[in-house]
Amino acid sequence: MMADANEREGFSAIVLVVVLIAVAAYLLFFGLQTLIYFEARYWGSREPELAVTPQPLNLATTPVAQSTHLEFFNYQCEAPWKGPAQTSQGPDFIENKFDSGAAIRVFLPEAQADALKSFKGETPEQQERMTNLFGPHPFDSNFDLYAAIYSAPPSQASPFMPRVDAERLNTLLLWKLAFDTQLPGGIFRFESGPNRGLQFGDPLRSPAVVLRAFNERDRQFKFLITMKESGSAKLTQNDINQIITTLKPVPLPGQ
């Protein structure tokens, strides 16, 4: 009986050692990824917007009966509403309001944060960490960074993904949490001539739409487009598309 008990105790000890080794190996190879996985699931449940990723925007536009030419910060576009607009200017924006109830506020490009510079890090230690994770030149522009951050959903996280991929995803999700609050209707990605950008909100579901448009030099134009509930018109995607597709520099004198 004593021998049997000793054998059982010895077998149990061996099993315990094997389990401990297996747990240690799992934590060594997949511990960080598992932690990031559960963190991503937690934030995904708390912030459903994290699951929203940019969808392609169809820029097909039907000409409107009347439009108003607008100029701001050496750029221009055609607003799809009858003017003239009531123009006001603040230290970092120009706003045009129309009798229809529509309003377009354009923020000073030079006042927009350089997210790419901040992302790369302010200290040598932060810069080294980002270089180790994303490489020396992971994003060529602020637009590329915005697109990557908003394209990262919590569902990509897995306990068994490579460690560096898990750390990259975790970094992008943390930035996504810190970025603009998303608007109802989703996020849309567009390209129009040399301009690229993101649209936040669907005018059918949101009382406001935000555009972030970047030109070929990464100069950023942030638009806040709204329509009063009591306005004589309703904001449509065709309206938004006209603003996007007519956005271009004001010609220099003599051109």
* pLDDT at position 47: 86
pTM: 0.85
| 22 against 78, higher pLDDT | 78
Distance between CA 123 and CA 129 in Å, rounded? 10
Q: What is the pLDDT of residues 32-65, one digit of tens each?
A: 778 888 888 888 888 888 999 999 999 988 888 7
Q: What is the mean pLDDT of residues 203-226?
A: 94
Decide if pLDDT at 5 tops 90.
Answer: no
196-214: average pLDDT: 94
pLDDT tens-digit series, residues 181-192:
678 889 999 999
**Phi and psi, residue 195, nearest 5°:** -95, 140
Q: What is the average pLDDT score of the chain?
A: 86
pLDDT tens digits for range 39-48 = 888 888 888 8
Q: Is the pLDDT of residue 154 over 80?
A: yes
Res. 92: pLDDT tops 90: yes
26 pLDDT above the threshold of 50: no
